[in-house]
Amino acid sequence: MYPTEPPFQRIQFYLTAHYDCSYLPGERARSQVATPTHLIDHQAYSALIRAGFRRSGQFTYRPHCENCRACVPVRVDVARFVPNRSQRRCLKRNARLDARFLPLDFRDEHYDLYRRYLASRHAGGGMDRDGPDQYIQFLLSSNVDSVMVEFRDGDTLVMIAVVDQIDDGLSAVYTFFDPDRGHDSLGVYGVLWQIELAKRLELPYLYLGYWIAASRKMAYKTQYAPLEGLIDGRWQPLASA
């Protein structure tokens, strides 16, 4: 499934070398990357997201594995989403947090939180060794409509979310939070907050990246029903696919 309208005639797609899959042990993965980055403006990026691509820094990519279709792009139908009892408790528990929109600038306080989060949640995965340059390339480099959202409890920084806006929704790029506040379910709150932001902006979808049925890391995404998946080139309710 490739976008065909202008300016996509000038965008090229190439395949990366094979690498170890981050989600399925023992599997090898490959990605398809859209290039050149300077041609991927708001219109092009919106169409690429709808075609199942994601963004990491200035790279727009999607999985392209020869013998595996486990990665399913998913999005929340914002208008139909109703939080369940647990999610309502999470919203109430974190209602005291103040959210502030910021540009994608480097701040020591943000980077320190990022390092603490990776050390707790992704130890040994490679990202926990990211230095400032890798952090900047991953989260602070963007050619599209991106914003950083800072969440504070009083004066205390507790969470950061990087979010992109596209024609028909928001794309949740990455969220990291204080690993010592597990009782607050900040990861859940981050998704719920972005769903509410999409509602306020009258945007129909929140794109959550990829869901993999066999990956426990991805299981949380099914809690935000109704969820749609891009399967066989068509967005459809995930439960019926």
The C-alpha atoms of residue 234 and residue 241 are separated, in whole angstroms, by 10
Same domain membership, residue 214 and residue 131: yes
One domain, residues 123 and 164: yes
Which domain CATH number covers 232? 3.40.630.30
Predicted local confidence at residue 166, as pLDDT: 97
Residue after which a domain boundary falls, among 42, 71, 100: 71
CA neighbor of 208 nearest in space, from 184, 232, 225, 233: 225
Q: Average pLDDT for residues 120-136, to the nearest whole number?
A: 74
Q: Is the pLDDT of residue 40 over 60?
A: yes
Q: How many domains does the chain have?
A: 2
In a domain, 2, yes or no: no
Q: Amino acid letter at 31?
A: S
Q: Average pLDDT in the 200-210 region?
A: 97
* Domain end residue (candidates: 19, 54, 71): 71
- Sorting pLDDT into bands at 50, 70 and 90, what band is 159? very high
Give the tens place of pLDDT for each residue, 22-32.
889 899 999 99
Q: For residue 128, name the pLDDT band (cuts at 50, 70, 90).
A: low
For residues 130 and 90, the model is more confident at 90
pLDDT at site 121: 78
> Does pTM top 0.85 for this prediction?
yes
The model's pLDDT over 74-104, given as tens digits with 9 standing for 90+, comes to 999 999 999 999 999 999 999 999 999 999 9
Domain around 210: 74-240
Secondary structure of residue 105 in the 3-state scheme: coil
**How many angstroms separate the CA atoms of 33 and 226, rounded?**
29
